[in-house]
Chains A and B, each alone.
Chain A
C-alpha cells in the first residue's frame, strides 16, 4: 500500500473529481461537502469507468399521504456517482450501488496532510 499524491487541497472544490492511475489501478477521488471519498474507477456491471461520469442526486418520487403520485425531485442529501457507460448509479458517500447495496465500488482511504490530498492504493 502506498499513499499516492492527488493534488493540493486548494485544487479541489466541492463537486470535483480527480482520477488517479497508479500502474493498472485507477481510483476516483471526490470532494463533497468538504469531505473526501475515493473509489476504484471500475463499475461492477461491465467494468466501465464508473468515476468518470456525472454526479447526479438521487431521484425520488413525491407521493401524497394517500399515495397519489405528485411528481419527482432530487434528494440533495444523496448524491450519486453515475457510470457513463450504462448509467449504473452508486452512492457517493458509501460506494454502494443505489438499487442493490450488495454491489459496491471498492473504497480507498484518503489522507489529508500538509495541505495535500493523498489516496491509499
Chain B
C-alpha cells in the first residue's frame, strides 16, 4: 500500500461557516451541472429576530413600538407555535448561525448569508420568508399582527429586496384584519422583489369568509399568487395531545393546510377567482393525493353542499401549485412517483429548500429522481416558478463563471 499525504482537519475546531457546512451541496451542484439551468427556491427563510431593532423602528403605532422594544419581540409571541427545531444541538446551524461572520461590502448580514447558501446549493433566485412570524396569526391582539406585518414588510422591501435582485418574497398578509390585508396588497404590490402575498395557515379565521373577497379580487387583478405557508401550533387543541415535536410537526405542518385547502375548495374559491393562482407551502406532498381522493369521494355523494364547483375537487387542486419540501422520500418510490402524477408535478410542483430549517431539502432531491424527465426536473427546480413569479431567466454569477470556464476548456 502507498502512504499518501491528505488534508486532515478537526471539525470541532472549525468556526461555523455556511459555505463549509454546505460544501457537499456545492459539490452536488457542480457534479450535476446546475449551471445549465435556473433554480428558483420558492420557500426559504431568514431569522428576522436578528434585525428586530431595525424592524421595530418601522412600527407606526408609537405605543406598540415601545411594547415591542421593551419585550424584545415577545409582544409577537403571546401564543407560540412552539417547537424544538434544533434537536438539542444535533442540527449544527441553529447553534452557530448567530456567530457567523457575514459583514461583506456593507451588505445586510441576511443578504450575505442568504447568497452564501444559495450559491452553495446552486440556487439562482430564492423566495425568502421570516421565521417566528409564521405564528403571528395566532396573536390575540389584531393590531399586533397588522402593525408588525406592515413594519416587517417595509423593512424587508427597503433593506433586503431592493438591495438584492436574487432575493424575492411573498409578503405577509395580516389576515385577522381583512382591510389591512387588502391595503398591504395595494401598497406593496409592484415593489421590487414582491412576487406574491403570503397567508400563514396557523390561524383560526376561515379563509372562505366574505370579508376576504376584495383581497382575492385584488390579487387576481394584479396577477399575483397567494401562498399558504403551513406551520404547527402545539397549543392547538388537537396538537395539544401530542407530546413529542415529531408528532406535532408531522401532523401540524400538514393539518393546517389540509383544513384551509378543504375550505378553499368546497366553498368554490377557485371557481369564483379562476385567475387567482395559489401555492401550498411546506406540507410535503403525500397529503395532496389523500385529500384529492377523500374530497372527490365525498363530493360525488354530497355535491349539493359544494354547488359552486363545476368539477371535482381534485380537478381544482391539480391546477394549484405545491412546494416540494419536505418531500416524503423514505421507503416507497412508487408512491412518490404516483404522487407526482396526481399533482401534475411537471407543471405544478415547485422546488423549495426551506433552508436553513432542520428539514431542508437540496435541489438533488428533485434532480436525482429517476422517474422524471430532464425537462420535468428543470421545470420543478426553476422554470415553473420563474413563470409563476414572472422572473427573467437569470443565473448566479457563480454559475455564469462556471459556464465560461467550461466553454474555455
Which of B3, B23, B93, B358 contacts A3, CB < 8 Å?
B3
Tell me the total A-B contact number using a CB cutoff of 8 A: 91
Quick one: given A19-B8, A46-B362, A46-B365, are A2 and B92 in contact (CB under 8 Å)? no
Q: A82-B90, A84-B91, A87-B358 are in contact. Are A4 and B10 (CB under 8 A)?
A: no
Chain A contacts of B90 at CB under 8 A? 53-54, 56, 82, 84, 87
Contact with B along A53-96 (1 / 0, CB 8 A): 11010000000000000000000000000101111000000000
Instruction: Give the complex CA separation of A42 and B2 in angstroms.
Output: 24
Count residues on chain A whose CB falls below 8 Å from chain B CBs: 33
Contact partner of B24 (CB less than 8 A), chosen from A18, A48, A121, is A48
Residues from chain B with a CB closer than 8 A to the CB of A3 are 1-4
Q: Total interface residues on B, using CB and 8 Å?
A: 32
Known: A46-B364, A54-B92, A86-B358. A5 touches B6 (CB 8 A): yes
- Checking A51, A82, A120 against B11 with a beta-carbon cut-off of 8 angstroms, the contacting residue is A51
Name the residue of chain B whose CB is nearest to the CB of A42.
Answer: B24
Contact pick for A4, options B4, B87, B89, B358, CB 8 Å: B4
Q: Does B57 contact A (CB under 8 A)?
A: no
Instruction: Take A1-B1, A3-B2, A54-B92 as given contacts and tell me if A21 and B11 are in contact as well, using a CB distance cutoff of 8 Å.
Output: no
How distant is the Cα of A7 from the Cα of B6 in the complex, in angstroms? 10
Please, how many angstroms separate the alpha-carbon atoms of A56 and B92 in the complex? 13
In the bound complex, CA of A106 to CA of B161 (Å): 43
Distance of A34 from chain B, by nearest CB (Å) = 19
Contact of B361 among A1, A46, A54, A82 (CB under 8 A): A46
* A47 lies within 8 A of chain B by Cβ: yes
For the A-B complex with A53-B92, A85-B91, A86-B91 known, give 4 more contacts whose Cβ atoms are closer than 8 Å: A16-B12, A17-B12, A21-B6, A46-B365
Instruction: Mark B residues whose CB is within 8 Å of A.
Output: 1-12, 21, 23-25, 27-28, 87-93, 358-362, 364-365
A19 (CB) vs chain B CBs: closest residue: B9
| A39 at interface, CB cutoff 8 A | no
B7: nearest chain-A partner, CB-CB: A21
Q: Which 5 A-B pairs have the closest CB atoms?
A: A84-B92, A52-B11, A87-B90, A21-B7, A2-B2
Interchain CB contact under 8 A, B365 and A7: no
Q: Can you list 5 A-B pairs, Cβ within 8 angstroms, ordered by A?
A: A18-B9, A21-B7, A85-B360, A86-B91, A87-B87
Give the Cβ gap from B86 to chain A, nearest Cβ, in Å: 9
CB-contact partner of A17 in B2, B6, B10, B360, under 8 A:
B10
Residue A36 is within 8 A (CB to CB) of chain B in the complex: no
Is A37's CB within 8 Å of the partner chain B?
no
A22: Cβ under 8 A from any B Cβ: yes
Assess A118 versus B3: contact at CB under 8 Å? Given A46-B365, A47-B24, A48-B24. yes
> Is A87 within 8 A of B2, CB to CB?
no
With A5-B3, A19-B11 as known contacts, state yes or no: A49 contacts B358, CB within 8 Å: no
Chain B residues near A24 (CB-CB < 8 A):
27
